[in-house]
Structures are given as structure tokens and as C-alpha cells.
Amino acid sequence: MADVHERLIALFNEHGARYHVIEHEPEGRSEAISRIRGNHPSQAMKAIVVSVRGGGGGKRNALAVIPGDRRLDMKALLGVLGAQKGRFTTAEEAEMLSGCVMGAVPPFSFRKDLPLIVDNECTVNTKVVFNAGRLDRSVFIALEDYVAVAKPRFADISGS
């Protein structure tokens, strides 16, 4: 089976997405990688694996995506997911669910049991960027192509 980076590139090519890959030194922290790539942090999509429970849905996971210069509003995310409690997953849990080390998780889910929730603030840019399954590869992609390929659910889940 192909790794996450290869799966993303194949998916972009299959859908005729407008994107380009850049290679860089390994980095997963939002502020540092934005400096390396030369993008504004608000253009970066930060993917966070969370675990939630309660609200009648039992324990479950989700992939929350926010701009690189914002923080996850866990209370808002819980409302979107109909849950009562939530936490960030451990690095091990995030890797098991996403197939990537923390910092390299792209804003895509290849699992039905890991719903993708993207903050509405991510839509202010016409082009977005994210680490693409590896700490040393990033993808710049047209927002409309990202939306067409990833098919995320949008909600207000971040704060400053």
C-alpha cells in the first residue's frame, strides 16, 4: 500500500488538481514551517487528530483542520460533533489513525471513522498549503481543488 504522501499525489493527479510539491528540511511546527515555505501562517492548514466522547455517539475520533495561525476551539468542535468531552490524541494514536507522524498529518482523511472537519477560516485563501504526509514535503493547492478532492465538512472550530 502506498504511503500517505503518494496517495495524496495520486489523488490530486486523478482529479486534475492544481498543486505543486516542495521539498524542504523536515519540520512540523506551524510557525516554523510557514517561515521555511514562505507562506503566511493563515494560508497553512494545520490538521489535528482529536478523540471525543459523549452525546450518544460513544468514543470516536475526528480530524480537525484549522489555519496555522489559529487555535482549535474544542468546545465548538464538540458542538459540531455532538460530543461532550474531547482531547488531543497522543502522538501514537494520531499516527495510527492518520498514517503520519504528528506535524506531517495532511488535511485529508482516508478513513470513514475519522471525519474531516475544516474551519471556515481556511476558506479565506485561494491557495492553501500543508505538510503532505511527510515532514519534508509540502503541497500548495488551489482551495477549490482541495475542497473538491477532500470533500470536508466546514464549521467554525477555531479561535485566535
Per residue in 91-146, pLDDT (tens digit) is 999 999 999 999 999 999 999 999 999 999 999 999 999 999 999 999 999 999 99
Q: Which domains can be identified in the chain, with CATH numbers? A: 4-159 (3.90.960.10)
Please state whether the predicted TM-score (pTM) of the whole model is above 0.75: yes
Average pLDDT of the chain is: 95
Closest by CA position to 9, among listed 124, 101, 134, 118: 134
Q: What is the mean pLDDT of residues 70-74?
A: 97
